[in-house]
């Protein structure tokens, strides 16, 4: 394994990821969160803030929404927050009055490291790459004439 890779045990399968893989996946999840975040009403964002800032035993649906009914407004709010990868029902996978509400691991990580404002603020447009950050042009194809040269180049590169 190269230093720029990490092995992650997911469901008893070791998945080797590069920094590029992790950036792509985290970036995609964050863009999903932000796409929904900009559509949340102020009171839905307040509910999310209560859930994310709560410590101790998980809040139940009833604790957050005392008058909860399925297909009601509170249920739609929970569904939206779930669709945005912020929360999930812990035990049954269904929103019921006694169901604990759990922040997703990704939402917890982003909330703790980025903060609420950065999650709810669209990211800045990337700057055009400078000459120092551009990807170098691809090398010519390996041929019998340059094979040994390429092997020596690979040996010089750190793992």
With cut-offs at 50, 70 and 90, classify the pLDDT of residue 77: very high
Handedness of CA 7, 118, 109, 112 (dihedral sign): positive
Q: What is the DSSP string of 85-137?
A: TSEEESSSSS--TTPBEEE-HHHHHHHHHT-HHHHHSPPPPPPPPPTTTSPPP
Most confident by average pLDDT, 1-15, 26-40, 87-101: 87-101
pLDDT (tens digit per residue) in 28-75: 899 889 988 889 999 999 999 999 999 989 999 999 999 999 999 999
Higher local confidence (pLDDT), 94 or 3: 94
Asked if the model's pLDDT at residue 23 lies above 70, the reply is yes
pLDDT at 110: 92
Contacts for 111 with CB less than 8 Å, ≥ 6 apart = 52, 103, 119
Q: Report residue 36 as tokens.
A: 């929904």
pLDDT surpasses 80 at 126: no
Domains and CATH numbers, the chain: 40-122 (1.10.10.10)
User: 12 is written with which tokens?
Assistant: 């008893």
8 A C-beta contact, residue 87 and residue 95: no
């Amino acid at each position: 394994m190269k230093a720029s890779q990490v092995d992650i045990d997911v469901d008893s399968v070791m998945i080797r990821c590069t920094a590029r893989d992790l950036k792509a996946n985290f970036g995609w999840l964050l863009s999903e969160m932000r796409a929904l975040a900009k559509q949340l009403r102020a009171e839905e964002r307040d509910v999310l803030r209560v859930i994310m800032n709560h410590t101790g035993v998980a809040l139940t649906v009833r604790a957050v929404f005392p008058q909860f009914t399925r297909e009601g407004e509170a249920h739609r709010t929970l569904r939206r927050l779930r669709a945005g990868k912020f929360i999930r029902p812990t035990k049954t996978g269904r929103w019921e009055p006694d169901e604990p509400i759990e922040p997703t691991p990704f939402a917890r990580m982003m909330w703790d490291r980025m903060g609420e404002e950065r999650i709810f603020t669209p990211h800045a447009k990337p700057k055009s790459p400078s000459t120092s950050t551009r990807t170098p042009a691809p090398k010519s194809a390996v041929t019998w004439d340059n094979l040994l040269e390429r092997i020596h180049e690979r040996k010089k590169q750190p793992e």
